[in-house]
Copies of this chain bind each other. A is one copy, B any other.
Amino acid sequence: MPGKLGLIAGGGTLPRRIIEACHAQGRAVFVVALDGQTDAATLEGDVPHIRIRMGAAGKAVKALRGAECEELVLAGPVRRPSFSELRPDLTAARFLSRVGAKALGDDGLLRAVMDLLEEEGFRVIGVHDILGDILASEGVWGREQPDEDAWRDIRRGLQIAGDLGRQDIGQAVVVQQGIVLGVEAIEGTDRLLQRCGELRRPGPGGVLVKIKKPGQDDRADLPTVGRHTVEGAAKAGLRGIAVEAGATIVMEPDDLVAAADAAGLFVVGVAVDKG
C-alpha cells in the first residue's frame, strides 16, 4: 500500500476523482487547494486539506511535509497567474529568481515546479498512475468514422497543434476544409469552440484537434476531453474530434461516446509522432 498522497488540486472534477480513487483503494490523501482555482466540490466531505494562494509555495511544501506525503500529484487545470498577482512568498520568490520570472508564461514553469517538489524530497507522479485507464486509446471510439476530407483536416490540425505546443501557446486548434478557424491560447477549449461556431464556413464542418504540447511533462496539465467537449464541438458545427492517444485525459468516456454518437460526431485517438 503506497503512503499518503498529496494532491495539488487545480480546477474541474479531476481532483475529486482522484480523491475518490484513493478512498476506494483505502489510501490516505491530503489536498492542497489553490485559491480561486480548486472546485468547491473537490473538498466535500471530510477531506484533509489546506487552502493556499498561488504564490505561497513555502506554506504548501510545509503542509505536505507535515501531512507526511511522499507522493504528489498535480491534477486539474490551473489558470496561469501573472507575476503581479502571484505575490510570491520566500520559497516561491527563491524559485522564481532561479527559473526567471519570465517562466510564468511557460509550461517550463510547471516542470520547474515539479523539479522543485522533487528536490524537496517528494516524488511527483501523474494522474494516470492513480486513475489507470483515464488516457485516450488509439482508434475510432464511437460509431462515426472520419472520411478522407476529415483526415486531411486532422493532419493539418496535428501539424499546427504541434507547432503551437512547441511554442508553449496552447493545445487545441480547429480546422475546417483546410481553413484554420481558431487557435487556442489561454482562453481554453470551450471558448475556442464557441467562437469557431460563429466563424464556421458553409459545407462539411471542421475538426477539433487537441494534443499534448510536444515535450510537455506527462505529469501535469495533460489535454482533457469529456462529454462537454463533444457538446461544444457539436454546437460549433464540427464533424469530429481528434485527440492524442496515450496523452489525453478522457473524463467519463462512456458519456462522451454516447454524446458523440447522438450528435453524429466522430472521436478518434491518434498516435502523435514525437519527432
Contacts and interface: CB of A to CB of B under 8 A. Distances in A.
Interface string A64-88: 0000000000000000111111000
Interface in A161-202: 163-164, 167-170, 175-187, 191, 195, 199, 201-202
Nearest to A191: B195
A80 B202 contact: no
Q: How large is the interface on A (under 10, 10 to 19, 20 to 34, 35 or more residues)?
A: 35 or more
Number of copies: 2
Nearest to A164: B183
Contacts of A184: 183
A186 B181 contact: yes
A152 interface: yes
B81 A201 contact: yes
A152 B167 CA distance: 15
B185 A85 contact: no
Interface stretch (A13-21, A101-109, A119-127, A254-262): A101-109
A102 B185 contact: no
A199 B186 contact: yes
A159 B169 CA distance: 12
B183 A185 contact: yes
A156 to B, nearest CB: 8
A106 B103 CA distance: 33
B160 A167 contact: yes
A203 B106 contact: no
A204 interface: yes
Contact of A203 (B84, B199, B203, B204): B84
A183 B174 CA distance: 13
Closest 9 CB pairs of A and B: A84-B203, A105-B178, A82-B201, A105-B179, A85-B202, A183-B183, A102-B178, A180-B185, A82-B177
Interface of A: 80-85, 101-106, 152, 156, 159-160, 163-164, 167-170, 175-187, 191, 195, 199, 201-204
Given A82-B201, A170-B183, 9 more contacts: A80-B201, A82-B203, A84-B201, A85-B202, A163-B167, A179-B186, A180-B186, A182-B186, A183-B183
